[in-house]
Amino acid sequence: MNVTSLLDLTGIFVFALSGAVMGVRKRLDVVGMAVLASMTALGGGILRDLILNVRPAAFESLGYVLVPLLATVIVFFWHPQVERSMPAVLVFDAAGLGLFCAVGTEKALTFGLSPLHAVLLGVTTAVGGGILRDVLAGQIPSLLYDRQLYAVPALLGSAVMASLWRLGHAGWQATLAAAVLAFTLRMFAMRYSWRAPLARGVPDD
């Protein structure tokens, strides 16, 4: 297993944890927890691959199926401990966001999409699973009220990835640079409570 695959599975695991924790908060049974964990972890990548008209990577490796199930088992038995560890989990979640937006953009460019469409698909890869999680859990997707800058870091990371690709700087170095940018911006947003602006004249809460 190479470093990229290991990082990919790590991101899947952390996203799956957040989905399973949502299941606990919504008082779902273990099946519901597993569904939310899997959709959160794999939904964005599956949407990306379906748009690219290729077999989803989630169906190419057993690890993509087992990792969300492992996260579900951990949360099922030890959800109080996982809840207390959420600040640390959010750090890894930010890392997963950065990695997924960069990898998603790179894959889209590899399949011949324009830079603009590749950026959109990179963002979809990063946040699509969270949208599916929220919809299945019966709440407004957090993407629609990006109050702690979740989609914005993914958008900027994807844009940097596409720009580096156009300049001829493809490869893991470009992927890492774009991922680190998105990760850093997300961490600053959490640390300093940065928020996306509301419409003019709408009071902030």
Judge whether 205 lies within some domain. Answer: no
Query: Rounded distance, CA 44 to CA 41, Å?
Result: 7
Are 108 and 118 in contact, with CB atoms under 8 Å apart? Answer: yes
- Host domain of residue 9: 3-192
Q: What is the number of domains present in the chain?
A: 1
Nearest to residue 143, comparing CAs of 157, 159, 129, 162?
Answer: 129
Interior angle at CA 63, CA 57 and CA 68, nearest 5: 95
Nearest to residue 90, comparing CAs of 187, 172, 201, 202?
Answer: 187
pLDDT value at 146 more than 70: no
Average pLDDT, the chain: 88
Residue given tokens 């844009």 in the structure block: 159
pLDDT given at position 205: 62
Judge whether 42 lies within some domain. Answer: yes
Which residues have a Cβ under 8 Å from the Cβ of 148 and sit 6 or more positions away? 189, 190, 193, 194, 195
Backbone angles phi, psi at 100, to 5 degrees: -70, -40
Judge whether 184 lies within some domain. Answer: yes
Query: Amino acid identity, residue 53?
Result: N
Enclosing H/E stretch for 37: helix 30-51
Nearest to residue 24, comparing CAs of 70, 80, 69?
Answer: 80
Judge whether 187 lies within some domain. Answer: yes
pLDDT given at position 201: 78
pLDDT given at position 171: 79
What percentage of the chain has pLDDT greater than the value 90? 52
Are 182 and 93 in contact, with CB atoms under 8 Å apart? Answer: no
Judge whether 47 lies within some domain. Answer: yes
What percent of the chain is helix, strand and coil (3-state, nearest 5)?
75, 0, 25
Judge whether 125 lies within some domain. Answer: yes
Higher pLDDT residue, 159 or 95?
Answer: 159
Query: Amino acid identity, residue 49?
Result: D
Judge whether 201 lies within some domain. Answer: no
Residue range 92-116: average pLDDT? 90
A 10 A CB-CB count for 129 gives: 29
pLDDT value at 159 more than 90: yes
Judge whether 198 lies within some domain. Answer: no
Residue range 116-133: average pLDDT? 93
